[in-house]
Structure 1
Amino acid sequence: MAALFYVEDTISWRLFFLYGQTRYSIPEELKQGSVVGNLAKDLSLAISELYRRKLRITSEAGKQYFSVDLVKGDLVVRDRIDREELCEQRSPCLLPLEIVIENPLQLHRVEIEIQDTNDNSPIFLTKEKVLKIAELVNPGARFPLESAQDPDVGPNSVRSYIISKNDNFKLIVKNHKDGTKFPELVLEKSLDREKQPLHKLILTALDGGDPVRSGTSEITVTVLDINDNAPQFERQVYEANLSENAAPGTEILRVKATDADEGQNGEIEYYFGDQTTDLILSLFDIETSSGAIVVKGVVDYEKNFLNRFDVIAKDKGNPEMDGHCGVEIKIVDVNDNTPEIIVTSLTTPVPEDSATGTVIALISAKDSDSGDNGKVRLSLSPKTPFKLNPSVSNHYTLVTNGPLDREKNDTYSVTISATDSGNPPLSSVKIITVELLDVNDNPPVFSQGSYVVYVKENCALGKILCSVSASDSDLGENAKISYSILDSKVQGVSVSSYVYINSDNGSIYSMHSFDYEKLKVFQIQVQAKDQGSPSLSSNATVHVFILDQNDNAPAVIYPSSAALGSLSHQRMARSAKAGHLVTKVTAVDADSGHNAWISYKLAEATDASLFTVNLYTGEVRTKRAVSEQDDSSQRLLIEIKDDGEPVQSATVTVSVLLEDGLHEPILDLRQKTVEPSKKSGRITLYLILSLASVSVLSLVTFLILAVKCIRNSRSSGSCCMRRSDCDDYKNPNRNLQIQLNTDGPIKYVEVLGGDMLSQSQSFRSCMSPMSEYSDFTFVKPSSTTDFKEMISVLDASLPDSTWTFESQDPLPSPHAAFIKRMNFSLQSCLNILGIFL
């Protein structure tokens, strides 16, 4: 124990440290502003921290008698302190204080011992007392007098009594076992009513203070002439224990006195003493005839655990005489007070990322009962991420006991139960509501991992393509989402030049019109970012597919009209038979799918009965043999239309000159065409055999990919194969025309070729979800050298990756049914093409 002394106005008091507690001792009635002690120094606190850490005082007394000077750290008196008002007769008189300091939370218990000062004089409840004493009473008779009351305690309470000078009486003072003193008047010399019927005495009570205070009572002794025996009690003091839950009417004890006189002089009645307090009279009653003391009111141990009073036994003589005895009733405590839970400090809301062990609240418990009845234990409701840690003297701290997640539970109702150790135990419950403060710990989540958008080409500028949406389970700014497009390249150009996104609602708009022939598909990486600190984000992919529109008319590539004007001149011998191939019109359409299907029609002719045009190949043949009557100059207008909606068309004019003497060249030409025809038949056979062997493996591969695609579609919401746009590579001077593109996710290659006399096939591949059909057409090259060059171009330009080809031939050729909808790798295609070399 350490002791510090402070001196002010000749008054001294002491400072104690007991088991982590701090105790000051001060006299009562200190002036306001008096310094009790330097609290900051005694608690080892820096004065500069007092204001920042919000030091405050709480008192169980309810009234704030003290305050803290946050500038100096002194504990000063705030209000008048009256020890008698606070503690009555209890000693020591302790005023407990709780010093609460935040950031971090600390609790210090301080006890202020209020020392008594001699500020009260002894007083007698009865200022004038009349004693009736028969003249026949023998010397030595004792007459109890009223004890003086002094609210002060210890040395300042009543210490002695004196009586005024007289010839017949003297005063003796008896000590009770609890230290209280009571005076008795003793008769020293017999009374003689005839000489002096009245005796006036002054009883003075003195306390032990410095200076001494005193109080007086006037005693008038009336000398009686009869009834010379007073009632005598069996015991001077009667003691009893009473349970505080005793019901009114319960008998506590009986006092008994006897009188040696006879008749009315010996008949006794019992009464409370003259100085009995109102509290005693409200709690107890006495039966006049029997002397039984019974419970009258509600007895409460917590208010008054010891009750002392006097009982008088009076006879009915004339003059009447009385006897006195003392009664002590001790109240036995029962467990009749429920524990009280006090929340001294509560921090709410609490950040959801608070570490385990973070202090949420400071809690104390008290019970007005005594002994085991006043011992309190606290418990916490289960299934909450909190726990109670015991602190100093029935104080607890409520701390976190696990991770918190506002998104799962934003508010906790913590039920705290207090139970005492009485029999039966009593308990009480207090509910503390703890709210959680949101922390940005959840990134935005898109409604889909990826989005698929189909846009028609030539769409209007500013058209909304789609809207993406994301949600964030946080609150406020932590859940406020803004959308943006991550920079990427599409055909070497930033994607932001193609589309724009509304940062508030996620709507994506087109920045310009799209052209399917230049761009078929591209990707957009959209980012959703919240406004938290630090901000969190997530990404989603938007796949934009351009849908083809029929915006390109067929373009005639043979016969070429660039050099010869609008007419194409062809010569034919008059000896030509029916079915003779006059020429072949070849056209292409930059569109795809149905929009690129081309049909040929003879719109006008000099003689419509002489020529016919194949609807699909564009071959112009004779319908019959040429006669001598036919004009030597025949004009044919051929219309070329696609299969789109609306239909796009083009026309070409062919002039055919019928001449004599062209038999040999025509014959040679036919002979030359026989061999390619045979070779073409062999090629067709090889092609059919090769494709038949590959088709089985391709079909198995297709089924496996289909199953995987279906499984993936369940999670991603879309499954598609994408190929980038096809950039044209054309060589009009060769029979082979190559269109290819290796940029982006779509790979495209097209091999075209042919001349007017060859039986042509074409192989074309472009895989896209927007096209209804893809073509693979092979054209026999005019020379082996040109075809090898084409193969080398493909081999150098395309990566080693698996290609998917779909075949469709509008003609009912023998091998078209086998090629149609057939998938095989690029390497397989090249192996097949190698057979033709």
Structure 2
Amino acid sequence: MPERLADMLLDLWTPLIILWITLPPCIYMAPMNQSQILMSGSPLELNRLSEEQRILNRSKRGWVWNQMFVLEEFSGPEPILVGRLHTDLDPGSKKIKYILSGDGAGTIFQINDITGDIHAIKRLDREEKAEYTLTAQAVDWETNKPLEPPSEFIIKVQDINDNAPEFLNGPYHATVPEMSILGTSVTNVTATDADDPVYGNSAKLVYSILEGQPYFSIEPETAIIKTALPNMDREAKEEYLVVIQAKDMGGHSGGLSGTTTLTVTLTDVNDNPPKFAQSLYHFSVPEDVVLGTAIGRVKANDQDIGENAQSSYDIIDGDGTALFEITSDTQAQDGVIRLRKPLDFETKKSYTLKVEAANVYIDPRFSSRGPFKDTATVKIVVEDADEPPVFSSPTYLLEVHENAALNSVIGQVTARDPDITSSPIRFSIDRHTDLERQFNINADDGKITLATPLDRELSVWHNITIIATEIRNHSQISRVPVAIKVLDVNDNAPEFASEYEAFLCENGKPGQVIQTVSAMDKDDPKNGHYFLYSLLPEMVNNPNFTIKKNEDNSLSILAKHNGFNRQKQEVYLLPIIISDSGNPPLSSTSTLTIRVCGCSSDGVVQSCNVEAYVLPIGLSMGALIAILACIILLLVIVVLFVTLRRHKNEPLIIKDDEDVRENIIRYDDEGGGEEDTEAFDIATLQNPDGINGFLPPLLTPIFMVTHRTS
């Protein structure tokens, strides 16, 4: 404490001594009018000047200070003298009164109105207010009249080192990659000091590290923190606590200081390869496990974290590379071994794999350390399981002719139990695939027989499913699809492709093609259809028609002569024999109907009936239709005329002795349903008091319907 007190006194007295040395030149360099107020003052020196010294200075044409100083935080038993106001107009008769106004006048600063001495009556804080602006005035004591204009001056609060540095944003956190080189910048911190940065060294800060060596260092003036050791390893230590000090007074003794903490975290880099927890893994799996099932997991540990610890797994060698695969689980960071193809205990009972784990992301700075990968051996033992029967083929294709005999064998399926303790097999047909029960199977040997006749023309394919079941364990079953193709036999005779009807013109020419016909056959020969056409033996020498086979397997019918007359014979029937090329060949007889018709000069058929001959020659079909329409229209007109004449001759007034009722129905053109119809009793109209037996024009019915009842 004594040493610190001495430093504070030295800091306080140094500027005052300098001010005292430089004071005399200021006195003589600033002569003022005698009528102005003399304002003198300094922190301490002027307080010690005697009255004689001040009078001596004033006799030299006067001088003025426009600033006064007072030390902050100064406290004592008496108010501190800041300075004195004096005017050259004061002859010492004490008839002058000094008045002080402005910032803090009367509350902080107090003036002796006779002597002009200004005292600070309160403890001042520069950080709260650094300066005060006041106004001084000299007035006549008796009249209070101003002796001269008011004069403004400033009292400055002089700083002392009473504020320690502060880290306003602490505590701090920063990161730096592990394995960084020496001198890598980490962060920088800043402290603030409320003291005056212009006056003295009260706010001049110097930074240092109190805790955190030898890992980090700090630049004293800029507070930049750097690594002090190279290649710090996160895996050895991840977090460091650094205590930082800021000291004012340029770091000299006696200065005030403040501290803060900085937590430095080393971020990870990929500087470690993956390493399998064990060099050999053992797994066992049943032979009937489902494809894609996880067999086991292997894990390579990595001291790094995040993406630097991610590894990909591969099978690089072994006798099971085709049956197994390994995938990487990014969440658990391990490798999952799965089954790709079915296992067979009876074929091979164990497999050996060599798996590798390699980092996904490689940092080239550390590639020289060696490959970032590791390998391990995996042994997989296959366990025996009760397996279902296995068919000799995954599918079967059978062929059978459609004329095959019932109960004949059309094919056979075979299956076996793959287990060492082989079980006998029984075969059956899934009847959901053979609803008509067209096939049977021998339960012991799997021979398929025909149960009902087949017809290729109805169904070419039959798809059934055969079931194989172990006798010792009925839960072990297998299924296999069997496709049965029905082969064609020549069991259908050919016939006309459609119902043909030929037309022959009376004015036709000899050799003219009357009709071209084609044939069809429901059978499906391997080499396609080839038809033979012929006439009945008794029609070979037919005088009217002949036939000609075309290259496209069709047949043309030709006329042998002209001059056909439909009045003589209207229709001709021509039987044609059609034979196929099957073995044995089949044939049928189809009859072609040929009608004799009247045709135009260019061969267009106009009429094929005998009655047409009574019509004028050359009359077109359109003209005939028009004439027929006119005749029908005339008949309708005649009927309407006769009907109207008959209604006109009937009397309107009906005899009284007849029990007759007539309803008059009025129809409204706008239409309103049943409401548009109003019925009236005809007896009302016959009232002698009424309308004299006739209908007025407004009640004349548009349409009359009469109902007679006896």
TM superposition score normalised by structure 1 = 0.33
TM superposition score normalised by structure 2 = 0.38
Structure 1 or 2, whichever has the larger Rg, is 2
